[in-house]
Amino acid sequence: MENNSNFETRKPPVATTGILGWCRQHLFSNWVNSFITLLVIYFLYQLIPWFLDWSVFSADFWTNYKGELIVDRTFCSRVADPEGDHGACWAIIIVRFYQFMYGFYPPEQVWRVNLTYFLLVIALLPLLIEKIPGRKHLIKFTIAFPIVAFILLYGGFGFQIIPTNKWGGLLVTLVLGVFGIAIAFPLGILLALGRRSQLPVISMFCTLFIEFIRGVPLITLLFFGMVMLPLFLPEGLNLDGLVRVLVAVTLFQAAYMAEVIRGGLQAIPRGQYEAAQSVGLSYWQMNRKIILPQAIRISIPSIVNTSIGLFKDTTLVIIIGLLDLLGIGRGALADATWMGLSNEVYVFVALVFFIFTFSMSRYSLYLEKKLKTGINMGAD
């Protein structure tokens, strides 16, 4: 015992490290745990091969089991040979892929949409990668992106005008989602600050706005935007249908965003305001440099959560006749040549949504991790 001095450090016992140790601790620590582990493994064993078989190995893509090119539902293996063991018929997606992506955008102009998608990726880069060279200039582009995107997608300045009723599919989903979130975020910040303002008029206006918008279902707001908004506008000014929906979606999202950010603001200790004031910062400097960076940091999980919620809620525009990704899918199913392939359509639509929402969720985790370094909030 005496030889084993207190200052010597030993390696941890082998049984608690490595893959085996991890499995023992986390999967088989007692018999309930072991039972659940085995049960889950059994279900995965049943589910994954079945799904892979349905969606990939036994599925039709361009051709059916006889090698014929699929041109309508009757060629699909599972329709042509109901007795056989056939999987999904992805031809419906492949044949209508253009519609799923762009709606009824004129094909000779579709490069404009693709260019917009490409520019969107560029605009997101400075937000995604902190150490990208020339970040300052890229941020300027990110701020200008909505205007660039509008001109490219809609037209004007020498571009042929493509009315928004020709837009559809993922294009509409992304326009509503990206613009809705991008405009609602700054608006939400202003509303949150306004609600906490010491000036009663501003605070009351913001509170009323938030409570009204939040108290009404999005569908009602969408109808409101479609039917009633034109009544409030001066005669002759006829707002585009998509713009009216976008206004409704943005206001809805802004109200939720405001409450999320207000939650973050409430977590900032009073001492931060006092320290900022005592060194002479003005109200806007204090909020921009001290309060909001901390408040937004705390709210990231909730901000991303409401953003994901909004992105999925854009599918509600289907009820006022806009054809977003889901709308195009339902259109395809209503078409007699492809009827009955709803599994394929819904799985595809779900997958596309999942890709976007899952990326957002990963991005939020990345942000949280990045911003945590060296920061000890609250406790000091």
Partner 1 sequence: MSENSIISLQNVNKWFGDFQVLKDVNLEVKKKERIVVCGPSGSGKSTMIRCINRLEEHQEGKIVVDGIELTGNLKNIDSVRKEVGMVFQQFNLFPHLSVKENITLAPIWVKKMPKAEAEELAMKQLEIVKIPEQANKYPGQLSGGQQQRVAIARSLAMNPNIMLFDEPTSALDPEMIKEVLDVMVDLAEGGMTMIVVTHEMGFAKTVADRMVFMDEGKIVEEASPDKFFNNPESDRTKLFLSQILHQ
Rounded to whole angstroms, how far apart are CA atoms 181 and 250? 7
**Distance (Å, whole) CA 190 – CA 183:** 11
Least Cβ distance, residue 283 to partner 1 (angstroms): 9
Per rule CB under 8 A, is residue 274 in the interface with partner 1? yes
Under 8 Å between Cβ of 101 and 171: yes
* Consecutive H or E run containing 173: helix 170-174
Query: At closest approach, how far in Å is the CB of 287 from partner 1?
Result: 12
In the set 267, 279, 319, 350, which binds partner 1 (CB under 8 A)? 279
| Closest CB to partner 1 among residues 4, 198 | 198
Whether 171 contacts 114, CB under 8 Å: no
Choices 4-12, 80-88, 182-190, 276-284 (CB under 8 A): range interacting with partner 1: 276-284
114 vs 295: CA distance, rounded Å: 36
Q: Is the Cβ of residue 66 or residue 369 nearer to partner 1 in the bound state?
A: 369
Least CB distance from residue 89 to partner 1, whole Å? 53
CA separation for the pair 87, 92 (Å, rounded): 13
Of 283-322, which residues contact partner 1 (CB under 8 A)?
285, 289-290, 293-294, 297
Residue 199, token pair as written in the block: 């000036």
Tell me how far, at minimum, the Cβ of 185 lies from partner 1, in Å: 19
- Note whether 281 binds partner 1 by CB under 8 A: yes
Quote the CA–CA distance of 139 and 127 in Å, as a whole number. 8
Residue 140 backbone dihedrals phi, psi, to 5 degrees? -60, -45
Q: How remote is the C-alpha of 164 from its chain's centroid?
A: 22
- Contact region with partner 1 (CB under 8 A), list: 8-16, 100-108, 243-251, 270-278: 270-278
DSSP state, 59? -
- Residue 151 CB, nearest approach to partner 1 (Å): 35
272 contributes a contact to partner 1 by CB under 8 A? yes
374 binds partner 1 (CB under 8 A): yes
Report CA 125 to chain centroid distance, whole Å.
16
Query: Closest CB to partner 1 among 10 and 131?
Result: 131
375: left (phi over 0), alpha (psi -120 to 50) or beta: beta
Q: Which is nearer to partner 1, 294 or 364 (CB)?
A: 294
* Piece of the chain touching partner 1 by CB under 8 A; list 31-39, 178-186, 277-285, 333-341: 277-285
Which residues bind to partner 1, rule: CB under 8 A?
A: 269, 271-272, 274-282, 285, 289-290, 293-294, 297, 371, 373-377, 380
